Structure 1
Amino acid sequence: MERPFTNRQEAGRLLAARLCGYAGRRDVVVLALPRGGVPVAFEVARALRVALDVLPVCKLGVPWQAELAMGALSSNGAQYVDSAIVRETGVSEAQLQDALALARIELGRREARYRPIRDHDGRDERDECDGRAPLAVAGRVAIVVDDGMATGASLKAAALALASLGPARIVAALPVAPAGAPARLAGAVDECVCVRTPHAFHSVGENYLDFEQVSDETVRALLDAANDSAADAR
Structure 2
Amino acid sequence: MIFRNRSEAGRLLAERVAELELFDPIVYALPRGGVPVAVEVARTLAAPLDLLIVRKIGAPGFPEVALGAVVGGVTPQLVLNDDIYAATGRDAANLERARRSELDEVARRRRRYLGDRPVQDPAGRVTIVVDDGIATGATARVALAALRAQGAATIVLAVPVAPASSVEDLKSEADIVVVLHAPEEFWAIGQFYRDFHQLSDEETISYLRAAWDSE
Bucket of the pairwise TM-score, normalised by the shorter protein: 0.7 to 0.9
> Deviations 1:170-225 (Å, cap 9, x if unpaired)?
00001111102233224421111101111111221222221111122222222222
The answer for the alignment partner of 2:18 in structure 1 is 20
Residue type at the aligned position of 2:112: R
2:57 counterpart of 1:72: no
Deviant stretches of 4+, over 6 Å:
61-65
Closer/same/farther in 2, CA of residues 212 and 101 from structure 1, 3 Å limit: farther
- Per-residue deviation, 1:60: 4.9
Residues 44-63 of structure 1 mapped to structure 2, 5 A cutoff:
44-60=41-57
Deviates more, 1:43-52 or 1:169-178: 43-52
Deviates more, 1:5-14 or 1:53-62: 53-62
Closer/same/farther in 2, CA of residues 93 and 208 from structure 1, 3 Å limit: farther
State the SS of the aligned residue for 2:128.
strand
Runs (5+) with no aligned partner, structure 1: 117-130
The answer for the alignment partner of 1:31 in structure 2 is 28
The answer for the alignment partner of 2:117 in structure 1 is 132
Name the CA distance, whole Å, in 2 between partners of 1:91 and 1:200: 33
Name the CA distance, whole Å, in 1 between partners of 2:88 and 2:187: 23
The answer for the alignment partner of 1:119 in structure 2 is none
Residue type at the aligned position of 2:15: A
Residues 171-186 of structure 1 mapped to structure 2, 5 A cutoff:
171-186=156-171
Name the CA distance, whole Å, in 1 between partners of 2:14 and 2:132: 13
Name the CA distance, whole Å, in 2 between partners of 1:199 and 1:99: 37
Closer/same/farther in 2, CA of residues 209 and 59 from structure 1, 3 Å limit: farther
> Deviations 1:81-111 (Å, cap 9, x if unpaired)?
4466x59xx97748x9587565334212112
Residues 79-94 of structure 1 mapped to structure 2, 5 A cutoff:
79-82=78-81, 86=84, 93=90
Closer/same/farther in 2, CA of residues 166 and 113 from structure 1, 3 Å limit: same
Contact 1:60 1:71 in 2 (8 A): yes
Name the CA distance, whole Å, in 2 between partners of 1:206 and 1:100: 34
Residue type at the aligned position of 2:131: D
Q: Quote the RMSD (CA, aligned, Å).
A: 2.8
TM-score (norm 1): 0.76
Contact 1:72 1:153 in 2 (8 A): no
State the SS of the aligned residue for 2:70.
strand
Name the CA distance, whole Å, in 2 between partners of 1:217 and 1:52: 18
Name the CA distance, whole Å, in 2 between partners of 1:210 and 1:60: 30
TM-score (norm 2): 0.81
- Per-residue deviation, 1:112: 1.5
Runs (5+) with no aligned partner, structure 2: none
Percent of pairs with identical residues: 43
Name the CA distance, whole Å, in 1 between partners of 2:201 and 2:36: 12
> Deviations 1:20-67 (Å, cap 9, x if unpaired)?
2246x661111101111000101111122222111111245687785x
